[in-house]
Amino acid sequence: MPRIHFHQQLEQLKDKLLAMAALSQQAVEYAVDAYLERDKRLCTFVRDNETAINLAQRDVDEMAYDLLAKEQPMAIDLRFILSVIKINGDLERIGDQSMSIALRAEEILRVPKAALPVDIAAMGTHASDMIRRAVQALIEADALLAESVREMDDDIDHMNRAAHVDLIQVMQQSPDTSLQALNAVITARNLERIADHATNIAEDVIFWVRGADVRHQLAMAE
Amino acid sequence: MPRIHFHQQLEQLKDKLLAMAALSQQAVEYAVDAYLERDKRLCTFVRDNETAINLAQRDVDEMAYDLLAKEQPMAIDLRFILSVIKINGDLERIGDQSMSIALRAEEILRVPKAALPVDIAAMGTHASDMIRRAVQALIEADALLAESVREMDDDIDHMNRAAHVDLIQVMQQSPDTSLQALNAVITARNLERIADHATNIAEDVIFWVRGADVRHQLAMAE
């Protein structure tokens, strides 16, 4: 019964991807905590975690390639494996962005804390929620849930643009906190990018479940 | 002769990808020019170009998926198509980063020009050279040339880190040019990310030609 064996392998591939997703999700949360709590130990943890993420990414990719080469899957199974490869890439980039936040957190450790007009905690929670929801949509093959992730992306774009404008004012008016303000700008951008990757994941879930490429629909409609 | 037909289709897929690469390359060069020359028309061009890039990406992806579904390719052909899908994703992200540079260029149009300790022109040329070389490696199936792209990545990382440190000093000492300095920091980061994507493309060429996954070798060696 080779097909039963094949579907067991697909389940195994999904499990590997979920383990990868857990690492990426953890990276975001720890990086944001490191930034907010000014915690050097957590910065180091996020750096170490990046190596684990890169290894997990390789592992998922190799299994996906093997299945494509040996099983020559068709239709929904093919779409699933292609989605896994893409989602895997987005999860790895979420790890990169988390690493970048940890580097910014390390840089501000050596200067005093500054009150800044940006809610990094809220942006972090929003980005995390988007990843969690996208992963849940993957687990449950739920295209509607995946669509709700796409809708959440506008909010964090808005938060990021507001932070950019408000933090420039801080730089101009309180140059002694420029370092803190700059790192807040970059961290807000990183979180906005993380949310973009969560959106990509949600779109790949929709592609898998519905078989339609939903990316750039707005661009198409223009 | 279905296999001959299949190989014609692979050539066609490669041509589509090269057209996509030309658009991304152009986006980087025009975005950097827009930034350096403070040219609003070029900013608008880069924005419009992004829609073309998104459409081209869809087109490449759809053809790659069709070939996987209908031809069930094996070995080197399978690796080629998977590499095309990944390279396509990196080219689209190069378009995103170029768009981000164009937005920064638009923002500084409304403030006076400032002399800043960062050579955006040199970084832009370096990033462009990396993309050009990665694409040439793809055209010629040249893994050695692709390896040289990976080596070029260190230089731009170094330029970006130096720019970050030097521009913070400008912000602290000349708050009236904070807006210009901040946008220079972000543009330098965008160019460094563009170089990362060129490196990813080079690694995918190596994977295709040699059949080995070269990503994260350093991480593996640690």
Q: What was the pLDDT predicted at B219?
A: 41
| Alpha-helix residue ranges (DSSP H) falling in chain A | 2-37, 40-71, 75-108, 120-140, 143-173, 178-210, 217-221
For residue A82, list chain B residues with Cβ-Cβ distance below 8 A. 65, 68, 85
Summarize pLDDT for A10-25 with one digit per residue, the tens: 999 999 999 999 999 9
pLDDT at A213 (0 to 100): 58
Cα B80 from Cα A3, distance rounded (Å): 26
Mutate to test the interface with B, among A47, A53, A54 (most CBs of B within 10 A): A54
Which residues of A fall within a CB distance of 8 Å from B50?
219
Q: Which residues contact A127 (CB under 8 A, 6 or more apart)?
A: A28, A156, A191, A192, A194, A195, A198
Contact B182, B171 (CB under 8 A): yes
User: For residues A178 and B172, what is the distance between their CA atoms, to the nearest angstrom?
Assistant: 6
The answer to whether A125 faces chain B, any CB pair under 8 Å, is no
pLDDT in tens, A3-62: 679 999 999 999 999 999 999 999 999 999 999 999 999 999 999 999 999 999 999 999
Best of A72, A87, A88, A153 to substitute, by most chain B Cβ atoms within 10 angstroms, is: A72
- Residue B117 DSSP label: S
Q: Which of B51, B62, B82 sits opposite A65 (nearest CB)?
A: B82
Which of B82, B118, B196 to substitute to test the interface with A, most A CBs within 10 Å? Answer: B82
Cα–Cα distance, A95 to A103 (Å, whole number): 12
DSSP per-residue codes, A19-58 = HHHHHHHHHHHHHHHHHHHT-HHHHHHHHHHHHHHHHHHH
| For helices A178-210 and A120-140, angle between their N-to-C axes, nearest 10 degrees | 10
Put simply, the answer to whether B175 touches A173 (Cβ < 8 Å) is yes
- Whether residue A184 contacts residue A160, with contact meaning beta carbons closer than 8 Å, is answered with no
pLDDT confidence of residue B212: 59
Would you say the C-alpha torsion A185, A134, B90, A35 has a positive or negative sign? positive
CATH of the structural domain B2-221, one choice from 3.20.20.70, 1.20.58.220, 2.40.10.170, 3.40.630.10: 1.20.58.220
Chain B contacts in chain A segment 26-85 (CB below 8 A): 50-51, 54-55, 57-58, 61-62, 65, 68-69, 72, 74-75, 78-79, 82, 85
Q: How many helices (H) and strands (E) does chain A have?
A: 7, 0
Report d(CA B149, CA B105) in Å as an integer.
27
Establish, for the pair of chains A and B, how many residue pairs have beta carbons separated by less than 8 Å. 98
Tokens of A12: 């195994």
Q: What is the DSSP letter of B176?
A: G
Asked if B61 lies within 8 A of A213 by C-beta distance, the reply is: yes
Q: Is the pTM of this model over 0.90?
A: yes
pLDDT of residue B72: 85
Q: ipTM > 0.85?
A: yes
Cβ–Cβ gap B216/A57 under 8 Å: yes
Cα Rg of chain A (Å, integer): 19
For chain A, the straight-line distance linking the first and the last C-alpha, in angstroms and rounded, comes to 49
Say what percent of chain A tops pLDDT 70. Answer: 94
pLDDT (tens, 9 = 90+) of chain B, 222 residues, equals 566 799 999 999 999 999 999 999 999 999 999 999 999 999 999 999 999 999 999 999 999 999 999 988 888 899 999 999 999 999 999 999 999 999 999 999 999 999 999 999 999 999 999 999 999 999 999 999 999 999 999 999 999 999 999 999 999 999 999 999 999 999 999 999 999 999 999 999 999 998 855 555 544 443
| A181-210 residues touching B, CB cutoff 8 A | 182, 185-186, 189
Q: Is A213 on the interface with B (CB under 8 A)?
A: yes
Task: Name the stretches of chain A with pLDDT < 70.
Answer: 1-3, 212-222
Considering only CA atoms, which of A137, A50, A135 is closest in space to residue A96?
A50
Give the pLDDT confidence score for residue A211 in this predicted structure: 80
Give me the pLDDT at residue A31, please.
98
Decide if B62 and A213 are in contact by the 8 Å CB cutoff: yes
Q: Does B114 touch chain A (CB under 8 A)?
A: no
Structure tokens at A22: 């857990």
Whether B222 sits inside 8 A of A51 (CB atoms) is yes
**Cβ neighbour number for residue A190 with a 10 Å cutoff:** 29
Q: Please judge whether A178 and B168 are an interchain contact, meaning their C-beta atoms are less than 8 angstroms apart.
A: yes
**Using the beta-carbon criterion (under 8 Å), do B178 and A178 form an inter-chain contact?**
yes
Which residues from A are below 8 Å from B168, CB to CB?
178-179, 182
